[in-house]
Amino acid sequence: MTEVTREVFGHLPQKGGGGAVEKFLLKSDSVKVEIISLGCIITALETKGRDGKLSDIVLGFDRLEGYVNKHPYFGATIGRVANRIGNGKFTVEGKEYQLALNNPPNCLHGGNKGFDKVLWTPEVLLNGIRFSRTSPDGEEGYPGELKVWVTYTLDGGELAINYRAQSSSTTPVSLTNHAYFNLAGQGSHDIYNHMVSIEADSYLPVDDTLIPTGEVAAVQDTAFDLRKPVELGRHMQKFQLPGFDHNFCLEQSEARRYCARAHHPPSGRTMEVYTTQPGIQFYTGNFLDGSLEGKGGSVYPKHSAFCLETQNWPDAVNKPHFPSALLWPGEEYNHTTWLKFTAA
């Protein structure tokens, strides 16, 4: 059984339009998840270690103010298009669209005011919560009115996130969640002792602005071969890697499939990721710099968390040989990602 409760988390500043932000608690016998109606943000995720004790394993803030101020997308739903679009430009049906260059020279995570920065309408379900909103035609420069639903459901140790969208005009869509994990517990200094594996035979090399070059490269005999578990710190040292911020190419299938695993040996916590998406962005918190005060007064230095963001391949709208990022009128975007938490 999953218990679902709700409370007011805070109020948005009047100058931004105001509005009450609610917090929803999803609770099973082994997992507790807190999600707010601003950006469908996961603000807390508690899972049990080997010792049976719960720890909060996602980065974030104690109060709404932290999420209203600039932050690196902690726990947020990202849209209309996750990741980067090269030069913030794309062409659909012969018309060029220019987006905000909020990560110069590119557009990142939907633009200046993406899906992470807006209030969603909540609907409580038996075992979870569904958020919905309508993104107006032209919002952040994107074509078409887009209706979007993001649904979180908790079943025992498994959290499912389903994304659905319908558009009035052809538009690129790629939705993800940007939770930052540390299985030792949020506020722990680094992720170097985590064991990570990703079920991918290829990855996307990037240029110096983190846009894929267009090459789909084999992971074999490279630092990106994570098909067998590696200890992150040792692996990054061995290959002199400053960190990961790369898309790994998954098997193309609409069915649920296993794609990644992270394990923290000292606590026994394990997270497995399953998805219907064609890609997963593995990011090791390279831009965290310890400047933000997180939950319980924690600071979050570089490499103090990792993200496993299931999504379409970055800049797919400008790369015809990548999986299509376009949603056509009359069709439905429908993807699900499952996070399975265990301890051993």
Residue list, annotated binding site? 83-84, 178-180, 245
Residue 125 is encoded by which pair of tokens? 């379900």
Pair 37, 115: CB distance under 8 Å: no
Burial of 138 (0-12, 13-18, 19+ CB in 10 A): exposed
Pair 184, 217: CB distance under 8 Å: no
**Active site includes 309?**
yes
Q: Which of 109, 178, 194, 235 is catalytic?
A: 178
Instruction: Point out the annotated binding site for beta-D-galactose.
Output: 83-84, 178-180, 245
**Active site includes 178?**
yes
Residue 257 is encoded by which pair of tokens? 């499939």
DSSP string, 20-87: EEEEEEEE-SSEEEEEESBTT-EEEEEEE-TTS-EEE-B---SSHHHHHS--S-TT-EE-SB-SEEGG
**DSSP-assigned beta bridge partners for residue 269:** 264, 343
Q: Which of 22, 34, 139, 309 is catalytic?
A: 309
DSSP 3-state of 317: helix
Q: Residues with catalytic annotation? A: 178, 309
